[in-house]
């Protein structure tokens, strides 16, 4: 945060408007002085709460214009307790410091509370684990979710613990790494073998017929979002056994990060993920064209075969590029091994 003119140690920041502040909006000037710890939206919320005084009087508007020499006081409230509540849920922690935590999310764990999943989520687990080390995202002691993995997708995730880290990481993910160091690599087991060993899928995504699913849509549609996935075929299975269904292990690297992007894009080119309940339904009978015991392993696999293997990003505090990898979980690695052996 820009250095305050004084701070009393009790959450009161005292600033003095210089000559360059004359005529500026209060929220604009404060956001600049308190960056990077406070966004303009956070400053506006503090003003609305009556936490900002000018010359001893409560500031009545974020739009108020400043005069040179005015004394501005900002009373920082204690972060509010988190809602939802923390729950003791085991976490596979790859890295943690004061700014962020990196975890290897297991398949089956929902990231954020919502309809049908108000408890037992990653957020509940992080609130319990991080405790007082959460300094407050937007004034609330909660973890800052900057990207998500589907419930049944496993792998590496980073979560912010401070407002500053939350903003920096959110900007990096929103920018998709174009202006910084952000790399995301996934491994997927897909039906069929792509005709190209390396390829790019550039197809906009929008809502399908229901609220949850996504589909490739015309780019002129209002809800169309630019989406690009790069893929590389790593292994081929059943290529020389034409009597059986074939499959491939594919690495996917995201240039953008849309909801269900890999799942929709791979299905779009005719290679849906094995086990995908939403985008691979038309390929369910493929399992019938596999030998035993592989056939039953595929039919029993309860989720899409997708794992976030690698996440690389710039640390919001140190600005060093750091990378984390997580091996495939046992259920998916055993399924891949079964394909290797058939």
- Write the CB contacts of 151 (distance below 8 Å, at least 6 apart in sequence): 107, 108, 109, 110, 111, 117
List 324's β-bridge partners, or say none: 311
- Write the CB contacts of 236 (distance below 8 Å, at least 6 apart in sequence): 193, 246, 248
Handedness of CA 16, 40, 77, 166 (dihedral sign): negative
Query: Does the active-site annotation cover 150?
Result: yes
- Residue pair 275/286 in contact by the 8 Å Cβ criterion: no
Q: Which of 27, 150, 276, 331 is catalytic?
A: 150
- Rounded to whole angstroms, the Cα distance separating 77 from 11 reads 7
- Antiparallel, parallel or unpaired: β 154-160 and 306-314: parallel
3-state SS, residue 258: coil
Quick one: which of 335, 308, 330 has its CA closest to 237?
A: 335
Q: What are phi and psi of 215, to 5 degrees?
A: -150, 155
Handedness of CA 278, 283, 284, 290 (dihedral sign): negative
E strand intervals along 106-153: 144-145
CA distances from 133 to 97, 148, 269 (A): 9, 22, 45
CA distances from 135 to 47, 146, 164, 190 (A): 20, 16, 10, 42
List 159's β-bridge partners, or say none: 101, 145
Task: Locate all alpha helices (DSSP H) within 133-214, ordered by sequence.
Answer: 163-175
Tell me 41's DSSP state.
Answer: H
Catalytic residue annotation: 150
């Amino acid at each position: 945060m820009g250095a305050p003119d004084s701070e009393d140690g009790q959450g009161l920041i005292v600033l003095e408007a210089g000559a360059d502040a004359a005529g500026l909006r209060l929220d604009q000037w404060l956001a600049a002085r308190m960056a990077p710890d406070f966004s303009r939206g956070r400053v506006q919320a503090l003003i609305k709460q009556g936490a900002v005084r000018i010359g001893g009087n409560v500031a009545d508007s974020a739009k108020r214009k400043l005069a040179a020499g005015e004394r501005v006081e900002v009373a920082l409230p204690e972060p509010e307790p988190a809602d939802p509540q923390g729950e003791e849920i085991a976490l596979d922690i790859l890295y943690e410091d004061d700014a962020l935590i990196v975890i290897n999310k297991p398949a089956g764990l929902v990231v954020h509370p919502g309809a049908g999943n108000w408890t037992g989520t990653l957020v509940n687990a992080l609130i319990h684990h991080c405790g007082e080390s959460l300094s407050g995202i937007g004034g609330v002691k909660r973890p800052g979710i900057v990207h998500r993995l589907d419930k049944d997708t496993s792998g590496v995730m980073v979560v912010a613990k401070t407002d500053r880290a939350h903003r920096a990481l959110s900007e990096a993910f929103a920018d998709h790494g174009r202006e910084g160091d952000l790399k995301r690599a996934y491994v997927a087991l897909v039906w069929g073998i792509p005709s190209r060993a390396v390829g790019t899928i550039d197809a906009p995504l929008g809502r399908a017929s229901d609220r949850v699913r996504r589909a490739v849509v015309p780019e002129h549609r209002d809800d169309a979002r630019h989406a690009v996935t790069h893929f590389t075929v790593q292994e081929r299975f059943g290529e020389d056994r034409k009597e059986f269904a074939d499959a491939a292990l594919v690495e996917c690297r995201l240039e953008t990060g849309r909801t269900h992007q890999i799942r929709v894009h791979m299905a779009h080119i005719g290679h849906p993920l094995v086990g995908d309940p939403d985008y691979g339904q038309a390929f369910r009978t493929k399992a019938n064209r596999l030998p035993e015991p592989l056939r039953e392993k595929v039919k029993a696999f309860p989720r899409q075969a997708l794992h976030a293997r690698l996440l690389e990003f710039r640390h919001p505090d140190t600005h060093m590029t750091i990378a984390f990898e997580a091996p495939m979980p046992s259920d998916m690695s055993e399924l891949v091994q079964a394909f290797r052996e058939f």
